[in-house]
Structure 1
Amino acid sequence: MSICVGKTSFLRMIRSITQVSKGKLSLMLSNIIEMGLSALKWTTECVYS
């Protein structure tokens, strides 16, 4: 029960943050994706070299 309440409040918090800073969030998300891709590239180069 308490887990469900925490989950819904967490989702509500995320939704409010998303509404406030859509531009910032998308920018941050693209940065995270870019970092993830570069890390993946580095890992594959490290493994297959």
Structure 2
Amino acid sequence: MDYSTKLVTFSKKSVNEMAKKTGGRTSVPQIFVDEKYFGGLLELKDYYKEK
């Protein structure tokens, strides 16, 4: 699986950008698949439990 990472700072601009893309969530990690928001760590764990 190819992936990329993005360094997130806690500047107001970065936090606002993250919140806009994730529906208000600002915790990390936040995961996107094909440019679509997937979720965070809990959603990733649930995904692999269901497989």
Q: Same fold (TM over 0.5)?
A: no
More contact order relative to length (CA 8 Å, sep ≥ 6): 2
Larger radius of gyration: 1
For normalisation by structure 1, the TM-score amounts to 0.30
More strand by share: 2
For normalisation by structure 2, the TM-score amounts to 0.29
